[in-house]
């Protein structure tokens, strides 16, 4: 059913991807534990979480690489288990590991993946992708001699050669230099404008902020799924940033007080959630001075997605998470 017909009939458009209680065991370990979410067509979802949260396992199940232990999923209208081959034909998947052939040229790698996907007349599509990724000047270079950012662009071109409507990207910019990372995101923005749906696992919260929806994962579960703005707005407290000498010692000291046990270390600065800015600032200033810490400044700052993520983990566990340096998402 087309989107126009769906709107005319007043029905909800069918999502590009929908999971229900998707679960995967490895022995007795719950790698993914009852994950449920949906992604609208032409949208981008970010799976965010620390190492071991279950992001890669979730993507590997949704691409048909791993079979779920239990639960169901529908990918572009295909049942994940019963129609696994159809799912694989209709999606693109860029894994964490560079899986192209270093002894083949850029052109030859794209041709090889076109043959794998049964794309016979791929030449025009290849020219479009080379222009799209700005790899045309390097088409005869061996893939093994490309920079990290160019390798990821080539991997994306190979992922797109069969024109999938939905692509899965597993930490595609990890280890890529900032300029290449920026260029990669320009390409992803263009893909969204073309109506392609993207599911992205990323360790970078600034990347997650660019997505339509963010799913925060922790210990195999999705602890919150919403827009980046809504997640930050749900933080629920005001946030003070403390700059002082010997900040790490000061951080450890103030966390001993129940009032400030939710404080977190971000680089050389301390983030302290408070209910009241004026009263919180005064008490923090006095407490630090009483403990002989020289305070350079205390000011209110807007909470970030990282602040919100740490808070969500804390609430999901029912305890305070102490982390010097923030969360490695």
pLDDT, residue 7, reads 46
Given 226, 261, 292, which residue is the final one in a domain?
Answer: 226
Task: Tell me the pLDDT tens digit for each residue of 123-147.
Answer: 999 999 999 999 999 999 999 999 9
pLDDT, residue 328, reads 38
| pTM of structure | 0.85
Is residue 222 located within the same domain as residue 236? no
- Residue 210: is its pLDDT beyond 80? yes
> What CATH number did the domain enclosing 281 receive?
3.30.70
Domain count of the chain? 2
Is residue 109 located within the same domain as residue 150? yes
Looking at the domain assignment, is residue 329 inside a domain? no
**Closest of 215, 109, 122 to residue 155, by C-alpha:** 109
- CB 298 within 8 Å of CB 242: yes
Task: Tell me the pLDDT tens digit for each residue of 9-54.
Answer: 455 678 999 999 999 999 989 899 999 999 999 999 999 988 889 9
Looking at the domain assignment, is residue 324 inside a domain? no
Is residue 32 located within the same domain as residue 161? yes
Given 226, 255, 273, which residue is the final one in a domain?
Answer: 226
Q: What is the radius of gyration, based on Cα positions, of the chain? A: 23
- CB 100 within 8 Å of CB 151: yes
Looking at the domain assignment, is residue 55 inside a domain? yes
Domain enclosing residue 291, as ranges: 232-317
- Residue 321: is its pLDDT beyond 70? no
Is residue 20 located within the same domain as residue 133? yes
> What CATH number did the domain enclosing 212 receive?
3.40.50.300
Is residue 187 located within the same domain as residue 50? yes
pLDDT, residue 86, reads 92
| β pairing state of 295-301 and 238-244 | antiparallel
Looking at the domain assignment, is residue 25 inside a domain? yes
Is residue 256 located within the same domain as residue 283? yes
How large is the greatest C-alpha to C-alpha distance in the chain, in angstroms? 75
Is residue 43 located within the same domain as residue 159? yes
Helices (H), 262-323: 277-290, 305-317
CA distances from 39 to 13, 19, 211, 220 (A): 11, 9, 11, 19
Mean pLDDT, range 194-211, rounded to an integer: 93
Is residue 204 located within the same domain as residue 258? no
pLDDT, residue 108, reads 96
Average predicted confidence (pLDDT) for the chain: 89
Task: Tell me the pLDDT tens digit for each residue of 259-270.
Answer: 998 899 999 999
Looking at the domain assignment, is residue 310 inside a domain? yes
Is residue 218 located within the same domain as residue 257? no
Is residue 182 located within the same domain as residue 165? yes
Is residue 98 located within the same domain as residue 188? yes
**Of 4-18, 84-98, 313-327, minimum mean pLDDT range:** 313-327
Given 201, 226, 251, which residue is the final one in a domain?
Answer: 226
Is residue 278 located within the same domain as residue 183? no
């Amino acid at each position: 059913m087309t989107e126009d017909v769906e709107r005319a009939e007043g029905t909800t458009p069918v999502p590009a991807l929908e999971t229900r209680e998707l679960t995967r065991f490895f022995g007795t370990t719950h790698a993914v534990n009852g994950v449920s979410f949906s992604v609208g067509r032409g949208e981008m979802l970010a799976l965010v979480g620390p190492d071991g949260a279950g992001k890669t396992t979730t993507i590997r199940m949704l691409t048909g690489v791993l079979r779920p232990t239990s639960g169901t999923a529908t990918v572009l209208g295909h049942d994940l288990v019963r129609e696994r081959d159809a799912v694989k034909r209709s999606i693109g998947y860029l894994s964490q590991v560079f899986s192209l052939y270093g002894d083949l040229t850029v052109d030859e790698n794209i041709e090889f993946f076109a043959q794998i996907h049964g794309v016979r007349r791929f030449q025009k599509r290849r020219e479009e992708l080379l222009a799209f990724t700005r790899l045309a000047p390097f088409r005869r270079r061996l893939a093994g001699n490309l920079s990290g950012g160019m390798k990821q662009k080539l991997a994306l071109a190979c992922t797109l050669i069969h024109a999938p409507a939905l692509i899965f990207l597993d930490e595609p910019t990890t280890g890529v230099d900032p300029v290449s990372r920026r260029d990669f995101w320009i390409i992803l923005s263009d893909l969204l404008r073309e109506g392609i749906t993207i599911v992205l696992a990323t360790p970078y919260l600034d990347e997650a902020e660019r997505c339509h929806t963010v799913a925060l994962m922790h210990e195999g579960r999705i602890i919150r799924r919403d827009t980046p703005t809504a997640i930050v707005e749900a933080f629920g407290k005001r946030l003070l940033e403390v700059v002082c000498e010997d900040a790490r010692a000061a951080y450890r000291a103030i966390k001993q007080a129940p009032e400030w046990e939710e404080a977190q270390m971000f680089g050389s600065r301390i983030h302290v959630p408070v209910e009241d800015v004026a009263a919180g600032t005064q008490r923090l200033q006095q407490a630090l001075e009483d403990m002989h810490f020289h305070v350079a400044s205390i000011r209110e700052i807007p909470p970030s997605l990282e602040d919100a993520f740490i808070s969500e983990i804390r609430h999901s566990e029912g305890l305070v998470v102490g982390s010097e340096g923030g969360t490695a998402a």
